[in-house]
Every structure is written in structure tokens, then in C-alpha cells.
Chains A and B, each alone.
Chain A
């Protein structure tokens, strides 16, 4: 999609009590989505006490339809065990593709996402549910 050769997606894991945070940096697309899914599933399998999976998307540069499919697959994994999948700092393009595809409501968004959403045109889908967000705080 980009004109330069895509550097691979880099994934960093921080595991805490009952929660895991995955930091994504790079492109989430046809070539990298499988790697992302495997990593996230491994995190969930490693600790059955995990109730929250945070995906820090601040370093994400691109997300195509295969990237969305991988997010949906991970959501299927978290939902089946009653865990919540959080998207942190979703860039506008990610929010947009999730909005258009009608899947944004599946993810718990942090305040940065809510902030970005308010900045964009168009109302959110009627059925979208968001976490109660604290007052917007400037971030990044």
C-alpha cells in the first residue's frame, strides 16, 4: 500500500496482573496480521486470569481489511472468555475503518479515541457503546 518496502510490524508485550498490553508499531496488513493474531492469542493463552487486553495503537501506521479481520479474530478470543479488548490511542484511520465497517462498538476505546471521534464528522453508529470516559485530557 505504501510505496516503500513495509518494515515489519513490531509488537511489544507488557503483562500485568489480569491485564496484558500489546504495543503495535508499523503496518497491520495482509503480511503482518497473522503474526499479530498469533502473538495476541499466545498472550491470552499464557494467562487465564487476563480480563483486559489492551492494544496500544499509537505506533500504528496502516490498517487494511486483513488488519480489521485480525482485530475481529482477537475480539472473538476475548469475548469468548468474557475479557474486554481495549484500543488505546487509535489513529483516525483505524477509527474510521472500524466505524465504516460497523465494528467500532466491539472495542473499548480510551479517552484519546473518544477525543478523535468527536473531532471527526458524522455521528457514531447508534448501537456503539463506549466506556464511560473521563474528561478529555491532552495526550501525546
Chain B
């Protein structure tokens, strides 16, 4: 560019002074080495109001340009003498009035310097815009990373407020849709750590807030009167008064995830349109993260509630009978499986307790819901536990559904202590028969049979009674035990015979030990650890053995 100007310069050398620069597209001002303006073109006259031929440069131009002339003509602090100046020199930059200029010095033979003043305001603006655009893109990418790293709603709110207060405004407030009369909020000022809180307030107090909470498009910030904002919206630590505010919805999946309120103090610029658009881009990311976190939170709440109600209870001694339970769900993610058991204690020690163990067809939420229904129904039917068949018929009727044939198989055991024996009434409804471990090591399969419940209009069941002598155990189990697949060949079922043999070695063991032993054997049998639900209930007649005294001095005692 400098060379091009030199060419222009040499071509115009012969013209009369005043005409030389007239047609130049830029402002040109020629200054001699003493700092006196020698010549200037109309463009320069228009730009520099005080400039005139013969005037002093320092009184005509801003100080940066006067200094530039001084540096150009006296590079070492003293005049250059007759030595020609180097042809190409770096340009100087500065403002003249409201605009930015590049000043290119072009030295002449006679020691004068022609200053070409090129307006580069537009280019600077574009560069600034590009830089800020890059910054915003980087910020949005960072925001997404940080926001999506958490599925915790509180954390998401805090991160959103903190990022927004750092990059978009002086202070930011995230407000979630009301839970009752409370508005959950997170505040942050100047990129500092966000504070969680709730406020009991009507969103109508903030212009545009209740609309944004319902998912309507944002109100332009110029419509919001900062003076009308309620005090609860202004974070602690926000100094000064609010000069401008922007209310932006955080869009969620269908329903709004919340609202982002941006605040600036009176000293700073108001929100312009591009900033509001940018705030919406940020809000879209924050909203997606927040609603994902909320969905997850709701999901895990539901699962927790279901699990609390559906997980099998811990079993203990009831009315003089030992109960032990064991439950291994198929996989951790299906904590609520299709197997279940319950023990409903008799209202008095003489009334039988009812133990139920069952297996619901299917898995996941469907199975969990059906399991819950069966357990609730059976609990309601405990007063008629004296007649298992009737109880199961009523249950069957309650479960019948014209759309599907999802069924359950179960075993009912009415259990009553009679002196030192335990009297059992057992009924299987389509379930593997209960096994009784006798004290001599025999394992009996109880011959009760019946139809599954929940799929057929009519069911048939057969109830069988038996007694347990002290130390004997009746085991109810689900087919997850016998259908454990594995063994030395890897693909063999554990099977009923192996189970019965294993139980034969458990004669005289307490119920808890029997349950643990069977669980251990089935787990060892499994080839790859994958199995169906396994549930076990052991009903044991307590041993009435004489216990020797612990310290040798006190009397021994009999267990109940």
C-alpha cells in the first residue's frame, strides 16, 4: 500500500500544491519537519475542522498524530538533516473524533511528510464482532459441557446462574416453576458461586416472569421497568441499582424448565438485541440440561417410592415361628423384579400367620405394578386366609384383565405354632411345590398343585397340610433358583434335584442359614452371573434345646 501511494506521490509532484491531493480518496495532510501544515486536501479539511495551511500540526490534530509526526521526522530525538527518510514506515493508529484511523506517513524528498489518513473503523468493528462471536461460541460450548455434566437439578440451576452472571450480565437469577407457592431460585453475582433459595412470591410481580414460566416468548428487555422489580429478585451482593433487566425462558421438553433473569446496574450499557438473542441461545442449553435433570429426578423419585413399597420385607420370628427371606433381583437396574414375598402375622399368637411367595410374569415396571397389586390384594384378603382356595379365587378375579394374560404363580402358607411343632397349610397356585427338610435329611416335595392366577377365568387348587418338628424347615422358592443356568458345562439348569440334594445337607440348620446356603449354591452355579429373580422364604420350627449358661454360673434356659 505504501508503494502504491509513492507512485501516486511521484506522479502528482509536478502539479500545483493545492491541486495535488484534491482527488485522493483519503484525507491527506502534508506537514514539514518543523510541524507546520504545508498542504491538505478537501477530505482532510472536512475531517480536521481546525486545519489550515500554515497552522501548527499539534494544534490541528489529536496528540497521537502529532507525536507520530515527531517520531517520523525525528526518530532519534534530533532532526534527520538531509538524509531521506526510509520509504516504508509502519502505520500509526488512533481516533479522530468518533472514528478510528490508520495514519500512513509518506516522506518527501524535501523533508515534508504527507500523512494519509485511512478510516478503519468498519474493519475494527468487524474484528471486534468476530472476536466476541468466537468468545460466545466458546462460552456456549463450555456451558453445554458444564451443564450436561450434572443430572442434579440444584447443581444445574446454580451452574446456569453462575455462568450467566459471569458472561451475560452482572447478576443472574434462575427461577424454576413454582412448587406450591414457593419459587425455587438460584442467584449469582459476577460469576461467583451461586446461592440456592426459595421465595414465597407471586411471579406476576416481575414483568414477563409468569409468562416466561408458562413458556411464552420473552418480553424485550426495554419493556421491563427496572424500578418495578421486587426486592426478592435482586441478589445479595448486587451493588448499585438495577439499570436494565432481561427475562428469558429456559425452554424444556414441552414444558418450560424455568426462567433466567439477567440484571445490570445503572452504570453499564443496557441489553441490546444481539445480547438478548445470545441469552436465548444460552437459555436453550441451560433449559435442556435443567429439564433432563428434572426428568431424571422425577424418575428416580418414582423408582425409589416403588422400591420402598415393593422390596421384600426383612423377616424375623413371628408368633414363635422362624421366618427367613432372601431376594436376589435379576439385575441391579430392575431392583423391583417379578418375585416377591410377604409374611402377614396372625393377630394373636394362636392365629395363623400367612406367608406368601410369588413370581409375576414379565419384568420391569409392568411386573412391578402387578406385583404391588397382588401384594395389596392378598393383604386385604388375609382375614379369609383360613380358606386358601377362596382367597386365590378372589385374587384371580381381581387380576383378570381382558387385554393381556400376564399372570402370577404363588404359594400361600398358613403357619401356626402348636406346642413345639409348627402346623403348615400350603397351597400352590401354579408355583413350584414347597420343599420340607426333615430332621433325618429327607427332603419332601409337598404335593400341592394349582392353577396360576390372573389369566384364566377358573382356577383349581389343592391345599396340603403338614407339621414341622423342631428344627425342620419348609422352603418356598421361585424358579429363578432351579433355572439358574451354568454349572461345569455352562448351560445346564441347576434344577430341582440338585436343590433337593443340597437341602438334604441342610437338615437342622436355622432358616437363615438354609436361605443363605441356597443363594450361595445358585450363585456358584451361574455361569456368567446373569440370572432371573430369585426369592426364598424359609419357615422353621425353632429348636427347643436347652442352652448351657454362658458363664457357667447362671442357670441355663429354654428358648421359646
Name the one of A1, A66, A70, A76 contacting B483, with C-beta atoms under 8 angstroms.
A1
A6 and B536 CA atoms in complex are apart in Å by: 28
How far apart are the CA atoms of A70 and B490 in the complex, in Å? 28
Q: How far is the CA of A86 from the CA of B65 in the complex (A)?
A: 104
What 9 new A-B contacts, CB under 8 Å, besides A3-B527, A3-B528? A30-B363, A65-B359, A65-B407, A66-B361, A69-B406, A69-B407, A101-B407, A101-B451, A102-B459
Number of A-B contacts (CB under 8 A): 67
Complex: A66 Cα to B455 Cα, angstroms: 12
Which A residues are in CB contact (< 8 Å) with B451?
Answer: 101-103
Q: Can you report 22 A-B residue pairs in the complex whose CB atoms are below 8 A from each other?
A: A1-B485, A2-B485, A2-B491, A3-B527, A3-B528, A65-B409, A66-B362, A68-B452, A69-B405, A72-B405, A72-B455, A73-B404, A73-B405, A76-B405, A100-B409, A101-B431, A101-B452, A102-B459, A103-B430, A103-B451, A103-B452, A125-B449
A13 to B452, CA, bound (A): 30
In the bound complex, residues from chain A placing their C-beta under 8 Å from that of B491 are: 2-3
Point out the residues of chain A lying under 8 angstroms from B485, CB to CB.
Answer: 1-3
Let me know if B528 and A72 touch, CB within 8 A: no
A interface size (C-beta, 8 A): 20
From A65, A69, A100, residue with most partner B Cβ within 10 Å: A65
Instruction: For A64, list chain B residues within 8 Å (CB).
Output: 532
Q: Does B508 contact A (CB under 8 A)?
A: no
Distance A63 CA – B404 CA, assembled complex (angstroms): 18
User: For A72, what are the chain B residues with a Cβ–Cβ distance below 8 Å?
Assistant: 405, 407, 455-456
> Complex formed: what's the CA distance from A102 to B284 in Å?
57
The contact of A68 among B407, B429, B431, B450, by CB within 8 Å, is B407
Chain A residues 19-72 with CB under 8 Å of chain B are: 30, 64-66, 68-70, 72
A127 at interface by CB-CB < 8 Å: yes
In the complex, which residues 342-383 of chain B have their Cβ closer than 8 Å to any Cβ of chain A? 359, 361-363
- Bound-complex Cα distance A112 to B429 (A): 27
**What is the minimal beta-carbon distance from B205 to any residue of chain A, in angstroms?**
54
Given contacts A76-B405, A101-B451, contact A69 B361 (CB under 8 A): yes
A102: nearest chain-B partner, CB-CB? B451
Contacts A1-B532, A69-B362, A69-B455 given; does A100 touch B406 at CB 8 Å: no
Quick one: given A3-B530, A30-B362, A66-B361, are A101 and B405 in contact (CB under 8 Å)?
A: no
A 74-112 binary contact with B (CB < 8 Å = 1; else 0): 001000000000000000000000001111001000000
Chain B residue numbers with a CB within 8 Å of A125 are: 449, 460
B432 interfacial contact with A, CB 8 Å: yes
Cα–Cα, bound, A106→B404 (Å): 17
Of A2, A65, A102, which one neighbours B450 at CB under 8 angstroms?
A102
- Complex Cα distance, B405 from A1, in Å, reads 21
